[in-house]
Amino acid sequence: MRSLSIGATGMLAQQQNVEVISNNLANMNTTAFQRRRTEFHDLLYQNIRRVGSTSADDGSVVPAGVQLGLGVKLASVYRIHEQGNLTATDNTFDLAIQGNGFFQITLPDGQTAYTRDGTFQLNGDGELVTHDGYLVQPGLTIPANAVDVTVNSSGEVLAKIDGQVDLQNVGQLTLANFPNTAGLSAQGSNYYLQTPASGQPATAVPGSTGYGSILQGFLETSNVNAVSEVTNLISAQRAYEMNSKVISTSDEMMGTLSQMR
């Protein structure tokens, strides 16, 4: 019975849906996390009576035909690039992007990773780094005698040097953007890598047309909506139960056939 395998594909699809929802909920407090959404599509159809075929010698055409679906499967897990809320931390090196764009990070293997997580710190050499110690491009070093650091909305990093009146410009942050941000490959630790689907990155100064601005002393929160995710979880659970009922019903029908004498 086709319904057995069809119900199984439905249960598997809803299991994967629940896994995506659970990952969203698990990352409710992850800085700059962007929620995921599952997308499904139907499987191939078996043509019992092909639509558009002729039913008689006079050229009569079958208007609908008979096509039996074979179930469902996961098509993609789409990342929703929606701005999260901005929360004040008053930490000098916490930076948030208000609008489009990604910070650029140099990984140990030399690749460039992209992130919206702006929880930056200084290493022992005064360089601006991530929580993993990876350098923030283009490589900024804060002087050891700096008593205060200001990052303006355009990404200029200005240091107040002890004994000096004027601020010293120690670097310029830039942001990267992609034609298709959903095509970036998530690597964990809030890092993304470029892929052929994302397209080539374009970099610009924060505040440029199409790019967000920098907010110092703020962090972007996760864009996960707990109420929406729980509602989706309940819906997925009910769909899973209904597909399991299809399998149970199909099994009972097969049992009835096997008991016939």
Per-domain residue ranges of the chain: 2-81+225-260, 85-221
Q: CB-hemisphere CA count at 13 Å for 246?
A: 18
Q: Cβ distance 86 to 96 under 8 Å?
A: yes
The whole-angstrom separation of Cα 189 and Cα 134 is 12
Could you state, in chain order, the average pLDDT of each consecutive group of 10 residues for the chain (261 residues)?
88 94 94 92 81 72 78 90 91 92 94 93 91 91 88 91 84 93 90 93 92 93 93 94 91 81 63
Determine the pLDDT at residue 128: 92
Best CA proximity match to 199, nearest among 218, 217, 181? 181
Write the burial class of residue 141 (CB in 10 Å: 0-12 exposed, 13-18 middle, 19+ buried): middle
Best CA proximity match to 129, nearest among 145, 113, 146? 113
Q: What phi and psi values does residue 36 have, to the nearest 5 degrees?
A: -110, 155
Query: pTM for the complete prediction?
Result: 0.82
Q: Is residue 69 within a helix (H) or strand (E), and if so which, with residue range?
A: strand 66-69
158: left (phi over 0), alpha (psi -120 to 50) or beta: beta
Q: Cβ distance 155 to 172 under 8 Å?
A: yes
Determine the pLDDT at residue 256: 83
Determine the pLDDT at residue 261: 63
The whole-angstrom separation of Cα 231 and Cα 241 is 16
- In one-letter notation, the amino acid at residue 26 is A
Q: Cβ distance 129 to 115 under 8 Å?
A: no
